[in-house]
């Protein structure tokens, strides 16, 4: 988050979802992007996973998804999450997110659940 403006720069957050042992992920991006195509996630150059934006607030635009199935397995085992979003129509921008420690963080998050 930009401390001066309060706007999200780029954030990937994992958090408990609901009452079960489910985990959700939220990808937050700055305002001003081209939202129509959503964003595309891939781990270590693997098969893409499409995520749609759900909302924009004064702090940025946000896309959430259940951290389960294939994407969860790949993120737990992978080295790098690549997020492709668009700054304008036909103008993709890629952001690389290291996944070092992600598996341990998810395990710790699950342990904190009642």
Q: What is the pLDDT of residues 40-87, one digit of tens each?
A: 999 999 999 999 999 999 888 999 999 888 999 999 999 999 999 998
Q: Above 60 in pLDDT, residue 30?
A: yes
How far apart CA 37 and CA 113 sit, in angstroms, is: 34
CATH code for residues 11-111: 2.60.40.1880
113 or 68: whose pLDDT is higher?
68
Closest to 1 measured CA to CA, from 63, 84, 58:
58
Residues of the chain above pLDDT 70, percent: 89
Per-state percent for the chain, helix, strand, coil, to nearest 5 = 15, 45, 40
Enter the pTM of the model: 0.82
For residue 85, the Cα-to-chain-centroid distance in whole angstroms is 11
Asked if residues 79 and 101 have their Cβ atoms less than 8 Å apart, the reply is no
Q: Above 70 in pLDDT, residue 2?
A: no
């Amino acid at each position: 988050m930009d401390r001066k403006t309060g706007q999200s720069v780029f954030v990937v957050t994992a958090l408990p979802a609901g009452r079960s042992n489910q985990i959700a992920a939220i990808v937050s991006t700055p305002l001003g992007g081209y939202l129509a195509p959503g964003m595309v996630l891939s781990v270590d150059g693997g098969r893409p996973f499409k995520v749609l934006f759900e909302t924009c607030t004064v702090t940025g635009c946000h896309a959430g998804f259940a951290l389960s199935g294939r994407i969860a397995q790949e993120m737990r085992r992978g080295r790098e999450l690549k997020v492709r979003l668009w700054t304008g129509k036909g103008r993709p921008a890629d952001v690389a997110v290291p996944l070092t420690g992600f598996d341990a963080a998810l395990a710790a998050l699950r342990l904190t659940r009642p």
